[in-house]
Structure 1
Amino acid sequence: MSAPAPLLVVGDALLDHDLCGRAERLAPDAPVPVVSAARRTTRPGGAALAAWLAAADGRPVTLVTALGDDESSACLVRALGGRVRLVRLPLTGDLSSKTRVLAEGTPLLRLDDGDGRAREATDEARRAVAEAGAVLVADYGRGTAEVLREELATAAARVPVVWDPHPRGERPVPGVRLVTPSASEARGFAGDERPEGAGALQTAARDADTLVRAWRAASVAVTLGGRGALLSHGDTPLLVPSPVTADGDACGAGDRFAATAAGLLADGELTESAVRGAVHAATRYVAEGGARAVSAPPVPAPPAVDAEPTDDALRTAARVRAAGGTVVAAGGCFDLLHAGHVALLQAARRTGDCLVVCVNSDASVRRRKGGGRPLVPVADRIRVLRALECVDAVAVFDEDTPERLLAELRPHIWAKGGDYALERLPEAPLVESWGGQVVLFPYLDGRSTTGIAERAALSPRPAGLAPGRGHR
């Protein structure tokens, strides 16, 4: 697997603060909640968050943004921690920052400070745009895209450019590969009256079609929150649904979507694949705690499909647990993946914030099932499992039962099909030892790998087809 391609992020950096506490009573002098035991956290915001997230994917990132000599600018540089290369534009005024006050994770109030704007472009910034292989414009309406507009227009004719717009920002330059407004932003940009009786999808499709033409963009992806995104090239749109419903803090999910889409386009993916990957990444971002997880260390690039995947699974579980989420694990051979497997995994994923699938190695399957198994080698089983939208990570164990792996993962929920009785699960006492729970899910009757293999073996071969030969 080749290394992730470099990405240039051009846009307006912000500094974000959260004050998180408890609200158990109202103030005596006004009907407002009193937030107590508040804990303050600080993180990159705006274009700086998009750059931070792109760097967390393991790719080299350069951020072109306006910074000054004020304390907020200095604090932002410290928050980035050297994860991205900075190309600074001069800033007029103080860096913009926002402070959210939250009670038990629910926002109550937001305070905005700083009115700084990019003053002018620099030769270093112009060179960075001219030499970029892919560009994300994270426009928050504070002048960075404006002072580099001519250079960005030239880049759009040469390399993939993704433009994440803002109602107070610049129109995307003509020729950008993808524009990523939210549904409410697309409605405001399109400007037409909403068609009477039209649903959210109809409205988003109409708005996207309008904006593709008005902006002369190759495509527009309207993000729909928990429903996914609607991609339009100016004709029949493609709906890319979220793999699961993720409840949580959605602050920064748009930046996660845009950063992922731009990175995948930089890697050479088609627009449809980039949007699909961006929907998955944004869903996972929300499920794993959203903005609360940004203080975690950058996540290395995912391993190649045929590489040992267990370390990635352990990192995923640790990240979700650190953000306060629920880790779900399910296990099995998954040899000839069938509808019963898929139903179990989908149901398991809905009970938590990530699903790690623990799969038997080839040697483990042979010991359990006999010399003719597995029918599908572990590398292919991993590839198929990872392709399921409900699966966040896959881990492999070589023993007959997964206790050692479970002791490392420490899931909150261990999911099994309803054909298992609780007393037959040797791993149940282990899971319960750290407060975890074994959960049984209904079993789809009549679905089994053995049954499928037996029916395939007994089915008549087409005339003229020799044993062991397939159609080309």
Structure 2
Amino acid sequence: MSDVAPLLLCIEKLEKGRVLCIGDVMLDRFVYGNVERISPEAPIPVFQKLSEVVMLGGAGNVARNIAGLGGKTHFISVVGNDQAGRDLTTQIGSLENLDARLITDASRKTSIKTRYIASGQQMMRADDETISPIDENIRKMVLDAAALGLEDFSALVLADYGKGVLSAGIAGELIQIARLKGIPVIVDPQGSNYDNYMGATLVTPNRKELADAIGLPADSTEEVVSAAAQIARQSGIDAVLATRSHDGMTLVRNAHNYKHFQTNAKEVFDVSGAGDTVVACIATAVSAGISIEDAVALANAAAGIVVGKVGTAVAYVEDLTAYLQQQERATGEAKILNLASALDCASVWRNRGLKLGFTNGCFDLLHPGHLAVLNQAKAACDKLIVGLNSDASTKRLKGDERPIQTASARAAVLASLEIVDLVVIFKEDTPATLVEALRPEVFVKGSDYSLEQIPEAKVVQGYGGEIVLAKLAHGHSTSATIARIVD
């Protein structure tokens, strides 16, 4: 059995995860635009706004990632009596597997972090927030909600961003409550005083946070292990996971008991929220009965996925499965995604100015006719998304003896083609739902169809997309191939 195979088995357990998440929530705004000139008023770039995306940030992104991995989470935080707080409530209410107790404090602002991005690079970040401990009344409400929540959950995450929800000893009280109940506590820490997290099961400082905590460099593996072991020993913490960007992660229990995990990232677009994904994945896995070591291995893979997206992104359970399956087959970058992950990927590509194309089919026993359509589809766009009929929909369309190959096998074959950038399996008879959601600029179909015969044509025309009818390579069909084999 490969090293990946046990992790694939672990993924199946993630849906059993039940995590209570507490921390500083914030609204992340990503403003996309162009910079083409310098201001005549000062030596600064002129940013021309093109679009804006608003996402859950901070501890909210941790909770969102837990839900994305299939775990159930209850989220506790504090917001202001303002529009940002109401926007956060709306965003949380739209997510499955996630419910929340957002306590309103009229004396505080809801934290907003606005990032300005041009050509795939952050130009500037602007913060609007209140940074102070919550008052005694709000503190009691948080602790009471946590005590109640811990009755139904098997792991606690503390996502500390230093805004006040976990300040002034609240983190320590929560850790004590959880550990007395035998519940593991995973902490995304803030500041240099790790005594605030005494008794935690795991803390996850990055390289800079680790160095600041001990006042010494933490660059080499030896320095990281020494620093992490010192924190664990002095602050009574079971283990420290040092996240080291392109150098991967190092899990340290003491100076003689540590394990290093190489980075999985293939291409980095944005590191926003990668730490949130790590904490969420570990907590979900641990709450589902998975060992810390396997939980970290899963989190390392999840982090490698989200840094390839833009914004405070989510690694969905389907992302992890596809990534590890393709890693096991050594076929390179994961291309087989669910619709939610495909939408994230499409957003990244569009923000880079790339044209999306789409074609679809059963692709049962790939043949030259299929390749002809795929090549023409790729020639019409920058990134080609292929919608693939599931086994059930293929059977409905082609008959009870089909498909010859399973959907996973057909998807793997398509994903191995350089001209295919993404494969999304759909259960319906037509990909109309996929097309409506993805809105590709170019929709490609074989010329054996007329526009009137294409169910998706009205959808594509409705949003202004282009429909291309690809020339067919005659003499090739799966049905004819099967007939010849039978004969």
What is the DSSP-based 3-state SS (H/G/I as helix, E as strand, rest coil) of the residue aligned with 2:140?
coil
Amino acid at match of 1:87: R
Paired position in structure 2 for 1:451: none
Pairs within 5 Å for 1:65-464 = 65-83=77-95, 84-91=98-105, 92-115=107-130, 117-119=133-135, 120-122=139-141, 123-145=144-166, 146-147=169-170, 149-157=172-180, 158-167=182-191, 171-192=195-216, 199-234=219-254, 235-291=256-312, 293=313, 299=316, 312=337, 316-324=341-349
Pairwise CA distance, 1:22: 0.3
Amino acid at match of 1:156: R
Amino acid at match of 1:321: A
Pairwise CA distance, 1:192: 3.2
Amino acid at match of 1:62: H
TM-score scaled by length of structure 1? 0.64
| Residue deviations 1:172-222 (CA, integer Å, cap 9, x gap) | 53332211111111111122356xxxx532322222111111221111111
Q: Which moved more, 1:25-34 or 1:235-244?
A: 235-244
Whole-angstrom CA distance in 1 between matches of 2:348 and 2:275: 19
| Residue deviations 1:351-375 (CA, integer Å, cap 9, x gap) | x99999x9xx9xxxxxxxxxxxxxx
Whole-angstrom CA distance in 2 between matches of 1:144 and 1:106: 31
* Contact 2:92–2:100 (8 Å) recurs in 1: no
Whole-angstrom CA distance in 1 between matches of 2:244 and 2:214: 16
* Contact 2:80–2:110 (8 Å) recurs in 1: yes
Whole-angstrom CA distance in 2 between matches of 1:312 and 1:72: 32
* Contact 1:316–1:393 (8 Å) recurs in 2: no
Q: Quick one: structure 1 residues 124 and 318, their matched pair in 2 at CA, closer, same or farther if it must change by over 3 Å?
A: closer
Pairs within 5 Å for 1:41-52 = 41-52=53-64
Whole-angstrom CA distance in 1 between matches of 2:21 and 2:287: 12
Whole-angstrom CA distance in 2 between matches of 1:228 and 1:236: 17
Q: Quick one: structure 1 residues 273 and 303, their matched pair in 2 at CA, closer, same or farther if it must change by over 3 Å?
A: closer
* Contact 2:239–2:252 (8 Å) recurs in 1: yes
Equivalent position to 1:11, from 23, 42, 58: 23
Amino acid at match of 2:224: A
Whole-angstrom CA distance in 2 between matches of 1:5 and 1:282: 19
Whole-angstrom CA distance in 1 between matches of 2:364 and 2:271: 33
Q: Quick one: structure 1 residues 299 and 287, their matched pair in 2 at CA, closer, same or farther if it must change by over 3 Å?
A: same
Whole-angstrom CA distance in 1 between matches of 2:46 and 2:385: 37
Query: Which consecutive segments of 4 or more residues in structure 1 shift more than 6 A?
Result: 300-305, 352-356, 377-382, 392-397
Whole-angstrom CA distance in 2 between matches of 1:44 and 1:394: 27
TM-score scaled by length of structure 2? 0.62
Paired position in structure 2 for 1:389: none
Q: Quick one: structure 1 residues 266 and 114, their matched pair in 2 at CA, closer, same or farther if it must change by over 3 Å?
A: same
Pairwise CA distance, 1:50: 0.8
Pairwise CA distance, 1:321: 2.8
What is the DSSP-based 3-state SS (H/G/I as helix, E as strand, rest coil) of the residue aligned with 1:324?
helix
Whole-angstrom CA distance in 1 between matches of 2:42 and 2:183: 55
Whole-angstrom CA distance in 1 between matches of 2:70 and 2:112: 27
- What is the number of residues matched between the two proteins? 360
Structure 2's unaligned 5+ residue stretches are 1-11, 323-333, 357-362, 366-381, 392-404, 414-420, 441-466, 469-487
What is the DSSP-based 3-state SS (H/G/I as helix, E as strand, rest coil) of the residue aligned with 1:226?
helix
Q: Quick one: structure 1 residues 319 and 70, their matched pair in 2 at CA, closer, same or farther if it must change by over 3 Å?
A: closer
Q: Quick one: structure 1 residues 121 and 104, their matched pair in 2 at CA, closer, same or farther if it must change by over 3 Å?
A: farther
Amino acid at match of 1:110: R
* Contact 1:289–1:324 (8 Å) recurs in 2: no
| Residue deviations 1:56-84 (CA, integer Å, cap 9, x gap) | 22222111111231222112112223422
* Contact 1:11–1:144 (8 Å) recurs in 2: yes
Structure 1's unaligned 5+ residue stretches are 334-351, 362-376, 386-391, 398-403, 412-432, 435-472
